[in-house]
Amino acid sequence: MKTNHKPNFRKMVEPDRVRKEVYTDEEIFRHEMERIHETVWIYCGHESQVKNAGDYVTVQIGRQPMIMVRGKDRKINVLYNRCPHRGNMICGDMKGNTGDQFRCSYHAWTFHHDGRLKNIPMMESGYKGTRLTKDSPELCMKRAARVEAYRGFVFASLAKDGPTLKEFLGEAIVAFDDMCDRAPEGEVEIVPNCFRVIQHSNWKLFMENQIDALHPSVTHQSTGRAAHEVEKQLAKKAKSGEAPLSYHMLSAFATVTIDKWDNFQTINYPYGHCILTGYMGLRPQDPDTLAYDKVMIKAYGRKRFEEIVGVNIHHVLVYPGLSVQSPLQQLRAVRPLGVDRTLTEIWHFRLKGAPEAIYRRSLAYYNLVNSPATLINADDLENFWKCHTGLSSDGGDWVSFARHHGRDIENKGVVSSAPNMGTSEAPMRNQMKAWAKYMSGAAQEGSR
């Protein structure tokens, strides 16, 4: 639905601050869905979720219910989950196998996996002399305008024109390279479980928080401290003198104090993407790691192996809807449900060919940090709700992103936080810059 009256989006975003309505206004949200989420490349799922012909999952792109399905020709299709007859949704489940066709539950029209009409009951007699014939395009399930995959990760764009997936991802493509390269076989496979958590806030608060280096030691102090206490006790008791790594993953949230975060760095790219460099020291020398190193060296040779494990990434953010922790093989996809409600879908991947212990290590992070009983995100979600509620008030008009403003290093459109200024609010400024570009229609003139 196109809205006629258009707010002046450029005026809402200044280099170091943003109007609060950007987060709370329903009309702006509708524009966002149209101009951003239903235009750019959005992550649909991983190829290993639909291994066999007829396997499908449903997925939300912007406000559009979609189906990702594997065809008999092995090709992956992304279709609108809507029957061309009278609009019934075709798939009511979140996943399944549809056999060799989709069959609408209302009047039994059937469709091929690529959306083409297969059959209408009594078509001959029912439609003779009408505007519809067997090859009328409006009898097919509508397809996403563009579908592309990179190393098994499937994206769709609902706009006919615009950058290719690779052009869109740019340097953020490292999210998928880093994850897959860490597998001795160069591929990952999805762990078939999705944790789904809803936050009561605008989607942008999630995207900003993911690479907010200023918040962990404050927001997550309680868990970090509690984990550190247990970690110390376990280390004392352990023969190796070290507690299991999962405790370090949690305690780091408090032991890496707010001042230390300035040592890290964010690198910010066109389209709003961002990389946060690593901090957790995930290259320990325990027997499990050494066994993994051996398999990797065998697969890649030592030189390439060193390159792969030397990639220094904590988080890659693919704006507007994906947060990837490649060294831990986890991915969170953001699905806006409304201006003040956002769903995240949280997945874990297995490194093909890696020892079981390596899978278990990142699984611990998945369970402790990313499950619905999360010891970490509980406090983030509380902040998101409080932010959204505060921003909905008349207590102020602006959100400030002024930290280290003017001190970032810019080079050919790439903005890095300066040395010892890792807590720069550059990522937020960069996201809002991309946002304003999208919203004013300058970033990608796509038509549907």
Partner 1 sequence: MSDLQLQHDIEQFLYRQAELLDTKQWQAWTELFTADGIYWMPPDASYKTWDGQPAIFAEDRNLMAVRMGRVLHPDAWSQRPLWGTNHVVSNVVIRKAAKNGDVEVTSRFHMMELRRDDVRHFAGQYTHHLVKAKKGYAIRLQRVDMTNAQAAYDYVLQVWV
Chain contacts with Fe ion (rule: CB under 5 A): 380
Task: Residue 104: name its binding partner from ligand FES, Fe ion, partner 1, none (Cβ under 5 to 8 Å by kind).
Answer: ligand FES
Q: How many helices (H) and strands (E) does the chain have?
A: 15, 23
Residues 10-69 touching partner 1, rule: CB under 8 A, are: none
Task: Residue 85: name its binding partner from Fe ion, partner 1, ligand FES, none (Cβ under 5 to 8 Å by kind).
Answer: ligand FES
Task: Residue 199: name its binding partner from Fe ion, partner 1, ligand FES, none (Cβ under 5 to 8 Å by kind).
Answer: partner 1
Q: Is 382 a binder of partner 1 (CB under 8 A)?
A: yes
HSE, side-chain direction, 13 A CA sphere, residue 384: 26
218/442 with CB nearer partner 1? 218
DSSP helix/strand/coil, 34: helix
Angstrom distance (rounded) from CA 83 to CA 309: 47
Amino acid 423 reads T
Q: Which two tokens stand for residue 82?
A: 């809507």
Least Cβ distance, residue 367 to partner 1 (angstroms): 5
Asked whether 401 and 432 are in contact (CB, 8 A), the reply is yes
Q: Is 225 a binder of partner 1 (CB under 8 A)?
A: yes
Do the bridges between strand 64-70 and strand 195-199 make them parallel or antiparallel, or are there none, so unpaired?
unpaired
Least Cβ distance, residue 121 to ligand FES (angstroms): 9
161/259 with CB nearer Fe ion? 259
Angstrom distance (rounded) from CA 154 to CA 41: 9
Q: In 234-383, where do the E strands start and end?
A: 266-268, 274-276, 315-318, 322-325, 330-338, 341-351
382/410 with CB nearer partner 1? 382
Site string for partner 1, 230-269 (x = CB under 8 A): x---x------------x--x-------------------
Least Cβ distance, residue 250 to partner 1 (angstroms): 7
Determine which residue in the list 209, 219, 325, 444 makes contact with partner 1, applying CB under 8 A.
Answer: 219
Nearest to 202 by CA among 59, 361, 33: 33
9/109 with CB nearer ligand FES? 109
Residues 389-448 touching partner 1, rule: CB under 8 A, are: none
34/55 with CB nearer partner 1? 55
CA dihedral 32, 35, 40, 43 (to 10 degrees): 30
Count CB-CB contacts under 10 A for residue 129. Answer: 5
Determine which residue in the list 77, 209, 326, 374 makes contact with partner 1, applying CB under 8 A.
Answer: 374
- Residue given tokens 């999805």 in the structure block: 190
Q: In the β-sheet with 110-111, what is the strand arrangement from edge to edge?
A: 102-103, 110-111, 117-119
Stretch that binds partner 1, among 10-18, 308-316, 365-373, 433-441 (CB under 8 A): 365-373
Nearest to 341 by CA among 202, 140, 144, 160: 202
Site for partner 1, rule CB under 8 A: 191, 193, 195-200, 219, 221-223, 225-227, 229-230, 234, 247, 250, 343, 348, 356, 359-360, 363, 366-368, 371-375, 377-379, 381-383
